[in-house]
Amino acid sequence: MRIKEYFKPSTLEQAYNVLQDKNATIIGGGTFLRLGAKKIDSALDLSDLGLDIIEDKEDKVEIGAMATLRQVEIDEALKNNFGGAISKSAAVIMGVQFRNVATAGGSVAGRYGFSDFITSLLALDTYVELYKGGKITLKEFLETKGKIKDIVTKIIIMKDNRKASFQNIRNTSTDFAILNAAASRVENKVKISVGARPGVAKLAEKAMEFLEGSELNEETAIKAGEIASEELSVGSDIRGSLEYRKELCKALVKRAIMEVI
């Protein structure tokens, strides 16, 4: 990759100005970027901004945008909260060497359809903090693809004693998931997300609505899986057909719900 101008600012304000003035490309871990453009006019490196920490606060866990997926995987607060679903969704991505480089911010900002991390985050009460745009829900952030030129500074997950589960099916351990799903539960409210459809993770709103008015048991978990499979669009690619994904959706959603109940 050839980079004409390289910026490594020491404050977020400087970084934001470079982003606007130079239309710079933000470099997280650079792992996905290097698969694409071979020439970048202005590169913006965020590694001097102290964004590489994960903080366990009383009511939330804050993941700095430059924290690596390996940090996410082994962080004690993330292992001990949310049923470990966030750690688990990072741990299934490639190998340790890769996870030592790829960042949480790059993973969310990329809004990748195959993302495991986004699926688990979406099933929780998760916010994305943008330097100028402030705190927005992850759901809103995913809908703004390409429309905002801002820096993701943090991913914030609210702690509300939520139980959570992350499920995925892969042909081989280092391949993308054929489908992934996550569920979380606080009291009688269940949140369900499904990703690698192969489109980016979405909430299964109808299945969630169905569970809100139902007793939580195996029968309703099966029904919710069927509703999710009906309501969410899935497609075919080299990893799996539409029909196979529909079946996986039923099974993974049911398993995730069973784990949280």
From candidates 3, 8, 12, 33, binder to ligand FAD by CB under 6 A: 33
Query: Among 84, 52, 89, 79, which residue's Cα sits nearest to residue 68?
Result: 52
The residue number with the shortest CB distance to ligand FAD is 106
Give the footprint of ligand FAD on residues 35-54 (CB under 6 A). Answer: 35, 46
Q: Sheet containing 126-130: give its strands across.
A: 54-56, 60-64, 152-158, 126-130, 134-137
From candidates 85, 152, 164, 183, binder to ligand FAD by CB under 6 A: 152
> Using the rule CB under 6 A, is 31 a contact of ligand FAD?
yes
> Using the rule CB under 6 A, is 110 a contact of ligand FAD?
yes
From candidates 64, 105, 225, 240, binder to ligand FAD by CB under 6 A: 105
Query: Both tokens of residue 235?
Result: 């497609």
> Using the rule CB under 6 A, is 16 a contact of ligand FAD?
no
E strand or H helix at 74: helix 69-74
Size of the site for ligand FAD (CB under 6 A): 30
> Using the rule CB under 6 A, is 83 a contact of ligand FAD?
no
Least distance (Å) between residue 56 CB and ligand FAD: 21
71/64 Cα distance (integer angstroms): 10
Q: Sheet containing 163-170: give its strands across.
A: 163-170, 177-186, 189-195, 202-203
Other Cβ atoms less than 10 A from the Cβ of 101: the count is 15
The footprint of ligand FAD (CB under 6 A) covers 25-33, 35, 46, 65, 69, 93-94, 102-103, 105-107, 109-110, 112, 114-117, 151-152, 176
